[in-house]
Amino acid sequence: MHFIWIIPTVIILGLVLYNALAWPPVTFSADPVSDHVSILIPARDEAQNLPALFESLRDQTNVEEILVYDDHSTDGTPDLVTEWSSRDPRIRLVSPLPLPADWGGKPFACHTLAEKAGSEWLLFLDADARLKPNAVVRILNDARKKNVTLLACWPGLIAESIWEKMFMPMLNFSVFTLFPAPLSLERQQPSLGLAHGACLLLRREDYLAIGGHSRVRKELFEDTILARVWRESGRPGICLDGQDVIQTRMYDSLPGIWQGFEKIFYPAFRSDRNFWFFLLFHLLLFLLPFLLVPVLIVVRQPFLPWLACALMVLSMRLALAFRFRQSLWPILFHPVAEATLLVLGCSSRHRYRSGRGVTWKGRAYSREAS
């Protein structure tokens, strides 16, 4: 009976180690290239984040223009962009247009930015991203050397508060216990497409040819869906470990973490069946062993197989923490983080299925992005 849990746990541990050891990072090559990039930044109420991003872009080479779409901000974002444009003439503000009824806010912002861009390459960045020196030229070098027209960089996650350190590693844990990242570079099946919206480089000619963000106009996971559409069109696209070129602080508080992931959790799944499979998978393999071990010890029943499963789960967390340079102490609180993930998923589903939806930065999100 115990083998029902031990065997899949061993397999998943193997997958995690495969990801941690074999997934290549963006190379350190900063050889000069002739290509130019339009940096495109969708921004809704991002006055707090944009200065650090602009500062990290100041010395980046091969950047022809930096376009910022003000997505109907209420916090002074357009004034801040205008102020920075006087310091860096590459920075330009793109004024908002009315959001069409059949578009999500971020896809429409990206679509509008791409229409204004004039460079051969488009580099979409989230406003909370921070680029490291030579990041742009290093990304361009990899795109050229690997002969791809889409290159996504999985960012390093900045975690400063205790809540960020406790819960943000669950993002990487959820992805890299299921997704074979190194294999996705070798095989171009659409189902192996992966991207992170924090940093997404696209060749403009190919982007326009497939319809760009109009193909993912209603998606909340527009980045990964676009990477899959890209592959479906026969165009090569990959995702690399980009923590050496870009970092992002996605959320900076417990309410921010909860609301941010509540917005995207349930819509990440294409069907209710997939959603419940994911939750059951996490409950049985990543939480149940931690619940059973103390109970079995108290009732004096064999507990070593369950303890072995629990230790393997902690080993997964340890491998990913080393790979992504995250704090180690939150690993000890994995059962708390895992239980929170399950409750968060149920809350997200309830909000969308009940019709209440989720509100983020003053915009309502229903089952279909709006």
360 belongs to a structural domain: no
Residues counted in the chain: 370
Instruction: Give the model's confidence band at 61: pLDDT under 50 very low, under 70 low, under 90 confident, else very high.
Output: very high
CB-based contacts of 95: which residues, under 8 Å, 6+ apart?
A: 70, 78
221 belongs to a structural domain: yes
Instruction: Let me know whether 78 and 122 are in one domain.
Output: yes
Listed residue (106, 93, 158) closest to 132, CA to CA:
158
pLDDT surpassing 90 at residue 270? no
Contact yes or no for 366/352 (Cβ under 8 A): yes
Listed residue (233, 236, 234, 241) closest to 216, CA to CA:
233
Instruction: Let me know whether 185 and 313 are in one domain.
Output: no
370 belongs to a structural domain: no
| C-alpha torsion angle, residues 28, 223, 316, 290 (rounded to 10) | 160
Instruction: Let me know whether 283 and 322 are in one domain.
Output: yes
Q: What is the mean pLDDT of residues 31-59?
A: 94
Which of 217, 250, 283 is the last residue in one of the domains? 250
pLDDT at 302: 87
Question: Could you report the per-residue pLDDT of 136-192, keeping only the tens digit for each?
Answer: 999 999 999 999 999 999 999 999 999 999 999 999 999 999 999 999 999 999 999
Instruction: Let me know whether 246 and 329 are in one domain.
Output: no
244 belongs to a structural domain: yes
pLDDT at 85: 95
| Higher local confidence (pLDDT), 31 or 362 | 31
Instruction: Let me know whether 189 and 265 are in one domain.
Output: no
Tell me how many degrees the CA angle 231-219-178 measures, rounded to the nearest 5: 60
pLDDT at 368: 47
Lowest-confidence range among 10-19, 149-158, 219-228, 323-332? 219-228
CB-based contacts of 81: which residues, under 8 Å, 6+ apart?
A: 43, 50, 68, 70, 91, 93
| Two structure tokens written together for 228 | 């899959």
200 belongs to a structural domain: yes
pLDDT surpassing 50 at residue 52? yes
Listed residue (177, 164, 360) closest to 267, CA to CA:
360
pLDDT surpassing 90 at residue 29? no
Instruction: Let me know whether 270 and 205 are in one domain.
Output: no
Q: What is the mean pLDDT of residues 65-70?
A: 97
Instruction: Let me know whether 193 and 273 are in one domain.
Output: no
Q: What is the mean pLDDT of residues 278-288?
A: 97
Contact yes or no for 307/300 (Cβ under 8 A): no
Taking each helix axis from N to C end, the angle separating 288-298 and 334-353, rounded to the nearest 10 degrees, works out to: 130
Mean of the per-residue pLDDT values for the chain? 93
Q: What is the mean pLDDT of residues 71-99?
A: 94
pLDDT surpassing 70 at residue 1? no
Question: Could you report the per-residue pLDDT of 306-326, keeping only the tens digit for each?
Answer: 999 999 999 999 999 999 999
User: 200: which strand partners?
Assistant: 124, 152
Please identify which residue in the block is written with the tokens 């009315």. 98
Instruction: Let me know whether 155 and 297 are in one domain.
Output: no
What is the span of the domain harbouring residue 11? 3-19+256-355
pLDDT at 361: 75
Which of 250, 272, 298 is the last residue in one of the domains? 250
Taking each helix axis from N to C end, the angle separating 304-323 and 3-22, rounded to the nearest 10 degrees, works out to: 10
| Higher local confidence (pLDDT), 166 or 368 | 166
56 belongs to a structural domain: yes
pLDDT at 131: 97
Instruction: Let me know whether 235 and 262 are in one domain.
Output: no
pLDDT at 359: 78
* Residue 40 phi, psi (nearest 5): -120, 120
Instruction: Give the model's confidence band at 365: pLDDT under 50 very low, under 70 low, under 90 confident, else very high.
Output: confident
Helices (H) and strands (E) in the chain, counts: 15, 12
Instruction: Let me know whether 235 and 106 are in one domain.
Output: yes
**Number of domains forming the structure of the chain:** 2
Instruction: Let me know whether 34 and 15 are in one domain.
Output: no
Instruction: Give the model's confidence band at 369: pLDDT under 50 very low, under 70 low, under 90 confident, else very high.
Output: very low
Q: How far apart are CA 322 and CA 303, in angstroms?
A: 29
| Two structure tokens written together for 19 | 């990801």
User: 237: which strand partners?
Assistant: 150
Q: What is the mean pLDDT of residues 359-365?
A: 74
The H or E element containing residue 181 is helix 181-186
